[in-house]
């Protein structure tokens, strides 16, 4: 049996919700002031996930980096291994908005996609607008 205090992020109130349970079952949820808080705490207790926004190196681009995010939330405990994988990747410009940079990031099945456009150096020099 595990006990965890979870701060609800659904509103500025930031209720401290206490969840008791194990990996598969929840025994109790206390401290929330609304149903949203209950739902959030359940999710956060069973399977906390996060969108990971970061950057990836670009070669031959108008910028050295392209901003990226995971297309869907990934398990919170995968964040650092994801960052490690991302760190050693370089994409070649041009990069399109929404382009998949890494498929199946650290075995999560979630893709890492570009959140902006990066033109190649030459195009940028020719005056095309970013």
The footprint of another protein (CB under 8 A) covers 7-9, 11-14, 33, 50-55, 57, 59, 63-65, 67-69, 76, 78-79, 81, 83-92, 97, 102-109, 115-117, 129-130
Return the half-sphere exposure (C-beta side, CA atoms, 13 A cut-off) of residue 116: 15
Cα separation, 43 vs 65, whole angstroms: 33
Minimum distance of another protein from residue 105's CB (angstroms):
8
Nearer to another protein, 26 or 65 (CB): 65
Nearer to another protein, 12 or 25 (CB): 12
55 contacts 68 by C-beta, under 8 angstroms: yes
Minimum distance of another protein from residue 19's CB (angstroms):
14
Nearer to another protein, 27 or 96 (CB): 96
Structure tokens at 8: 């609800």
Minimum distance of another protein from residue 79's CB (angstroms):
7
54 contacts 83 by C-beta, under 8 angstroms: yes
Cα separation, 60 vs 55, whole angstroms: 16
């Amino acid at each position: 049996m595990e006990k965890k205090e979870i701060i609800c992020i659904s509103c500025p109130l930031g209720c401290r919700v206490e969840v008791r349970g194990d990996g598969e079952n929840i025994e109790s949820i206390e401290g929330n002031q609304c149903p949203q808080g209950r739902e959030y705490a359940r999710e956060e207790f069973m399977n906390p996930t996060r969108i990971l926004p970061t950057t990836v190196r670009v070669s031959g681009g108008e910028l050295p980096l392209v901003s990226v995010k995971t297309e869907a939330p990934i398990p919170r405990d995968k964040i650092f291994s994801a960052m490690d994988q991302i760190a050693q990747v370089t994409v070649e410009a041009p990069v399109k908005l929404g382009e998949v940079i890494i498929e199946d990031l650290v075995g999560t099945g979630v893709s890492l996609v570009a959140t902006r456009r990066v033109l190649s150096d030459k195009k940028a020099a020719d005056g095309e607008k970013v």
